[in-house]
Amino acid sequence: MKKYTLLFGCYLSLLFACQDEKVQIQRAIDEVTRAMMEESFPSKENMEKVIDLYDEYISKYPDAEESFTYMELKAKYLSANNQNEQAIKAYSDLITKYPDDPRAAEALFMQAFIFENYLSDKTKAQEKYNEFLTKYPEHELADDASFSIENMNLSDEQLLQLLKQSNQDSL
C-alpha cells in the first residue's frame, strides 16, 4: 500500500510541477504582452521574447488549447517583425497541425498575402490564393483572394484607379 501511495504522490508532484511550468510560461507571455500593449508599437525585442515564449509553450504543450492561438500570434509577430519567410513557415506549421480548424483557411490566405505584398513573389502568391480558393471557395476571404489574383499585376496607381472606379460605380 505504501508503494502505491508513494507512486501516487510522485504522480501528483509531477502533475503539479507541469501545471506550474505551464502557468509560469503563460504568465510570462501575459507579462510581455502587457508590456507590448504599453508601447506605441511593439518593440522588436518584446516581439522576439513573446515568440520565444510561444515556441516554448507550443513545444511543451502541443495539444493544449492555447497552442493554436500562440502559433497564429507567432506568425503575425514574425511578419510584423519583417521575418516573412519565418511567418510563412509558422502559418504552414499551423495548417499542418490543425488542418480542420476553420482558422487554417485564414493562415493559408495570410501565406498568399505575405508572398504577394511583402516578398513580391507573385507566382507563389497566386499558387497560394488558388489553393485557398480550391479548399475554401465559400470562405469570407474568397472574394479577396479572387480580387488579388485578378489584379496582382497592376501597379499601385492602376489599382487605386480601379478601386476609385469601383467605388463610384457602387454609388
> What is the predicted pLDDT for the residue at 165?
83
Alpha helices in the chain (DSSP H): 2-38, 44-60, 66-80, 84-97, 103-117, 122-135, 142-151, 156-170
Lowest mean pLDDT among 103-107, 119-123, 124-128, 155-159: 155-159
Q: What is the pTM of this model?
A: 0.80
Terminal Cα distance for the chain, rounded: 81
pLDDT tens for 41-98 read 888 899 899 999 999 999 999 989 899 999 999 999 999 999 999 999 999 999 999 9
Half-sphere exposure of 38 (CA within 13 A, CB side): 7
Flag whether pLDDT at 13 surpasses 80.
no
Tell me the average pLDDT across 149-171: 83
Contact 72, 94 (CB under 8 A): yes
> What is the predicted pLDDT for the residue at 19?
62
What are the structural domains, with CATH classification, of the chain? 2-170 (1.25.40.10)
Query: Confidence class of residue 156 from pLDDT cuts 50, 70 and 90?
Result: confident
Task: Report which DSSP code applies to 155.
Answer: -
